[in-house]
Amino acid sequence: MDCAVCHNPMITLELDDVETDYCLSCRGIWLDEGELEQLLGDTQRALDLLGSFTAADNCTEELRRCPICGKKMEKVFVGPPAGQVLIDRCKKAHGLWFDRGELEAVLHLGRFDSEGKIPKLLGQFFKNPETKGNPAPS
């Protein structure tokens, strides 16, 4: 799969049976439709997160293309107005694209992962000291 931003091939990382696609160049993250549920470990939490999205109708950021279908994705806001994070969502529900730091920002909103499970998992993915911030392929 190629990156939605820089179009370089992405690597697939797997930890605790959760796979994510990661771009070593721009550090973007692609989550397929079921991976968010796996990360959160609960269908309702995933639905709550997905239900919190609001369309960013007047956004001037460049629209990314879905790495699955190649169609332009839509920009959506996640979280309350005071701390919203802008991400990309495939209109055909293939998944979500997070530019560098966006997934962590969404998770730090707190109400989706009160136990802190996902930051720990992401820390194992992306903070391996031997790779100096780059994950090791699985």
Question: Per-residue pLDDT tens for 104-128?
Answer: 888 777 555 556 566 566 666 555 4
Neighbour tally for 93: CB within 10 Å: 12
Q: Supply the pTM of this predicted model.
A: 0.78
Rounded to the nearest 10 degrees, the angle between the axes of helix 117-126 and helix 33-40 is 120
Domain boundaries, given as residue ranges, for the chain: 11-130
How far apart are alpha carbons 76 and 61 in whole angstroms? 11
pLDDT tens digits, 38-49: 877 777 877 777
d(CA 4, CA 22): 11
Q: What is the C-alpha to C-alpha distance for residues 86 and 103, in angstroms, rounded to an integer?
A: 10
The DSSP bridge pattern shows strands 29-32 and 54-55 to be unpaired
Residue 61 in this model has a pLDDT that exceeds 60: yes
Model confidence pLDDT, tens digit, residues 92-104: 888 899 999 898 8
